[in-house]
Each structure stands twice: as C-alpha cells, then as structure tokens.
Structure 1
Amino acid sequence: MTLRRRLYLTLDPTEKGGLLERIFEILLIAIILLNILSIVIDSVKEIDHEYSTVFRNIEVFSIIFFTVEYIARIYSIVEKPTYEDPVKGRLKFVLTPMALIDLLSFLPFYLTFLPIDLRFLRIFRLMALFRVFKIARYLHALKIFKRVLTERKEQLVLSFLFILFILVIVSFIMFYVEREAQPDKFSSIPATMWWGIATITTVGYGDMVPITVWGKFLGGIFAIAGVGLLALPAGILSSGFFELLHEDRRKTIVCPHCGKEIHEE
C-alpha cells in the first residue's frame, strides 16, 4: 500500500482505515476541543494575561497541525474516485464546503499582516467534528427529516406566512397605540416587530414593553395567541415524523406460504 493510499484511508472518515484512523480521529477531536476551550478561556482577561504564553503555544501547535492535515488531505484525495484527476480533482476538492472550512481554520494565522483581526475564524475548527463523527451513521434519520420537509413544505410555508401576517398586523396596531407614549422605543413598525417577535416566542426580553391600557391589552392577547401560532409548524412537523416513522408498519406483507396479506399493527 502506497503512502498516499494510507494517508487517504487515515484522513477520510468514510473509509475504514483501521487503528490509524481511530487514533487520528481521537487526536483531531482532542485538538479541536482544546482549541475551542482555549478560545473561550482566552476571552477572560485575567486568565489571558497570566497564561498568554500557553494560549500562544496552543495556537501555534494547532496551526501547524491543521496546515499539515490540510496539505495531506489535498495530496491524498486523488485516491477517491470522485477526485481522481490530479489537477481538476484536487481543485474540485479544495472548493468543497468542508475543505473551505479546513482552510479557514488556519488561514487567518498567516494573514496577521492585514489590518483586520481574523482570529475569530478559528471557531470554524469546530465544524470538523461533523466530518469526524461520521454523519453517514445518521443518514437514515436525515433522509426522514428531508422527506418530512419536502412532503409538508406547503403546509409549513402557509403556517409561517400566517404567523408573519399576524405579526405584521399586531405590530402595525401596537405601533400606533404606543408611539405617542414611547416614541423612542416604538419608533417604527419594523422596530415594533422586534417586540412582536419577542412576545410571540415568549422570550420577553423586556427592552420594549407596552405601557398604555390598549397596548397592554393587545400585548396580552398576542402573547396568549402566540403559543397557538407557534404550535402550527411544530404540529405539522411532528405529524409528518409520526407518519413516516410508522410507514413501514402500514406496509402490506404477503405470506410466502399461503399468499395471504399480512398487516402489521
């Protein structure tokens, strides 16, 4: 087995590379989690001031690791039939979403000469976890979810349009009810729609609150109605999942011995 083939089997999670693949996956997950943890902790000024050298060393090590990994993937990807052409295949792979995410995970480090701070792009390293955890294992669940969205797309679109329609109407009325009492907060209909979104989702940030009698009345009615409005798409999705998950039970099976239909409960 060539070195390029061994690299491909080790780096590609869709292939069975054996022990080396499992070791690499564990190492990759550990480095990704370490990076995310360092990014989070590094935001604390006191800790950053005391352990800045440690965070710097972690970043330099990670940049080297992800750079070598990216080059190795490009080098070995021609082992995959989809990218077998040495030039066009590699170029095609480089332009894939996951390859672009891999590039963004270390590219900002080499662009420090730019006046823009691009270090926040390190968070893209977390996306590599989707590749490592072998999404193919959940392919059946993803197909069911896609089928539900496809089969119920008209009902979902109608429900969201209805919610939007009610949101605009209530925001329109609330704007004219509250604008004189709170011109700084209910300054326009789009601004009032933010209040409507916070109310219908029962978030209630409290940054915009009606203070007039009619405003409180309308807000209370809308808050109660919002629970039912948001239940519309949820009900559509849940019924779609229920039907698809029980679809196999409704299939008719013919007995190979007597030829009669068997209906599973």
Structure 2
Amino acid sequence: MKKLKEKTYHLLSPPEQTGSASWWIDVFIISLIFLNVLGIVLRSVDYIYEWSPALFNGFEVFSIVIFSIEYLGRVWTGNMHPDYPNSAKGNLKFATSPMMVIDLLAILPFYLPFFGLDLRFFRIMRLFRIFAILRLVRFTDSLDFMYKVYKKRLSYLVIFSLFTFFFLVLSSILLYYAENSAQPEEFSDVPTTMYWLMGVISTVGFGEMAPATVLGRFIVSIVAFITIMLFGLSAAVIASGFSDIMADLKKA
C-alpha cells in the first residue's frame, strides 16, 4: 500500500521530464479541463445541446469520474507533500488548500442531487464547474508563478480590498445624502449610489448619472483620488511580490 501511495503521488505530481507518465497525465487532465469549459459554453446554445444531449451528459459523467479519482488520489497522497507532513492532519490541511478547494467545487455540484438537494439549487451550483479552468494554475509554470506571487502578498491585498470596500460604503452613504435631495430619482438609495460609484472607481463610468451638488462633486473627486492611490499601492505590493519570488528562484 505504501508503494502504491508513493507511485500515485509521483504520477499526480508536476512532471520532471517530457514524455513521462506524470507528463501524459497532466496533458490528459489539461485537455479534459479545456473540453469541460468548452462543453459549458456549447451547452448554453440550445440547438447544439439538443443535437445530442446524451453526448453532453455522457461526457459530463466521464469527466466527473476522472476528476473525482484525481481529487481522491491527491487527498490520499497529500501528506507526502513536503508542505503537508504528518498523516491525517497533513491530508486534511492539503484538502483545504486553495487549489484543492477549487478541485472540490468543480466536482461537487454533480453529487449534490444525490443528497436530496433542490435541483434548482443544483443548477446554480453547476456554475462552479467553471472553476475547473483555475486548476490550470497547477499545470502551468507561469500561472503557478503568479499564484505564488499573489499567495505571498495575499494578506496585504486582503487589507487593501477591505479598506477599499469600507471606503466605498462610507463614500456611497455620504454621496447619497449629498445628492438625494437634488436628484432623488438618480441617487434613490445607497445601493444605487454604490453601483454608480463603482463605475467611477473602475473608470468605466455611467453617463446617465452625475453629481449635481458641490458637496457631491467634492466627494466623488476625493473618492477618485484615493482609489487611484490604492490601485497604485496594490500594484506596488504585487510588483514587490514578483521581485521576492524571482529572488527566491535565483537562490534555489
């Protein structure tokens, strides 16, 4: 059993050379992921899906079986990963890692109806299958590099995101009270104001609305100025993450 576990771990690990068994497994899984994403797209076109529903459903079952086997194999051998030592505890920590959670979300919707859940809920959960494409991070060096960068600077990005969110909420409330009396239809409530303000922050803009009061224009100007600084700080944090990872790779 120990030899089987070691062999399974090596087969599911990143390949060391082209043409090896683990390399072919990676090629197969990557191809299956792309075909699944393509299947989700084509399934939404009625005349294509109605041409052969059995083909789509059969391919979905086949894919889920393969992904389930791969997922269980990775969980079973998780404690052999150097970052997750120890038996049961290592397997559990590995199973709750971001990539493994993505793996689970990609296959979970298929099994939900067997637990008596509402089929309408199942249809919503099936959208999680698109997460399968995020699993390509594991198989692509450049994507893996970016994943390491974001993981290294995740705490900073979370702080910036929370600050931006609370700043957006506060600004929306202030802008609502500044503009509601002057434009009750446009700035009718805080959520509508927040939606419009998101357009300002993202530079998309919504031309049908604009602040009419001096206070409202001042608030929007401050919001635009601060968010530009926040975006600049976020870019600087990510850039420093790239530098750190590059330095670590050079040392290795």
- TM-score, normalised by the number of residues in structure 1: 0.67
Give the structure 1 partner of residue 132 of structure 2.
Answer: 125
Asked if the contact 2:153–2:237 (Cα under 8 Å) also holds between the matched residues in 1, the reply is no
Unpaired segments ≥5 residues, structure 2? 245-252
RMSD: 4.1
SS in structure 1 of the partner of residue 57 of structure 2: helix
Q: Aligned in 2, Cα 1:199/1:80: closer, same or farther, shift over 3 Å? A: closer
- Out of 125, 149, 174, the position equivalent to 2:179 is 174
Asked if the contact 1:198–1:204 (Cα under 8 Å) also holds between the matched residues in 2, the reply is yes
Give the structure 1 partner of residue 71 of structure 2.
Answer: 70
Give the structure 2 partner of residue 201 of structure 1.
Answer: 202
Within 1, Cα distance between the matches of 2:43 and 2:139? 25
Identity of aligned residues (%): 29
Larger Rg: 1
**1:22 Cα offset (Å):** 1.7
**1:84 Cα offset (Å):** 5.2
Within 2, Cα distance between the matches of 1:93 and 1:147? 18
Deviation string 1:18-74 (CA, Å, 9 cap, x unpaired) is 612221111111111111111112112221111322211210110111121122223
Give the structure 2 partner of residue 233 of structure 1.
Answer: 230
SS in structure 2 of the partner of residue 27 of structure 1: helix
- Out of 142, 153, 172, the position equivalent to 1:146 is 153
| Superposition map of 1:11-30 within 5 A | 11-13=12-14, 16=16, 19-30=20-31
Paired amino acid for 1:235: G
Give the structure 1 partner of residue 53 of structure 2.
Answer: 52
2:216 paired with 1:215: no
Deviation string 1:149-170 (CA, Å, 9 cap, x unpaired) is 48xx79x988887776555433
Within 1, Cα distance between the matches of 2:189 and 2:227? 24
Q: Aligned in 2, Cα 1:222/1:203: closer, same or farther, shift over 3 Å? A: farther
Asked if the contact 2:179–2:212 (Cα under 8 Å) also holds between the matched residues in 1, the reply is yes
Q: Aligned in 2, Cα 1:77/1:243: closer, same or farther, shift over 3 Å? A: closer
Asked if the contact 2:137–2:144 (Cα under 8 Å) also holds between the matched residues in 1, the reply is no
Within 2, Cα distance between the matches of 1:178 and 1:137? 49
Asked if the contact 1:9–1:17 (Cα under 8 Å) also holds between the matched residues in 2, the reply is no
Within 2, Cα distance between the matches of 1:130 and 1:102? 12
Q: Aligned in 2, Cα 1:246/1:89: closer, same or farther, shift over 3 Å? A: closer
Unpaired segments ≥5 residues, structure 1? 248-265
Q: Aligned in 2, Cα 1:235/1:90: closer, same or farther, shift over 3 Å? A: closer
Deviation string 1:154-193 (CA, Å, 9 cap, x unpaired) is 9x988887776555433321111111xx2xx532244333
SS in structure 2 of the partner of residue 34 of structure 1: helix
Determine which structure has the larger helix proportion and give its number. Answer: 2
Paired amino acid for 1:131: R
**Alignment coverage as a number of residue pairs:** 234
Q: Aligned in 2, Cα 1:245/1:195: closer, same or farther, shift over 3 Å? A: closer
Asked if the contact 1:10–1:17 (Cα under 8 Å) also holds between the matched residues in 2, the reply is no
- Structure 1, 60-69 or 230-239: larger mean CA deviation: 230-239
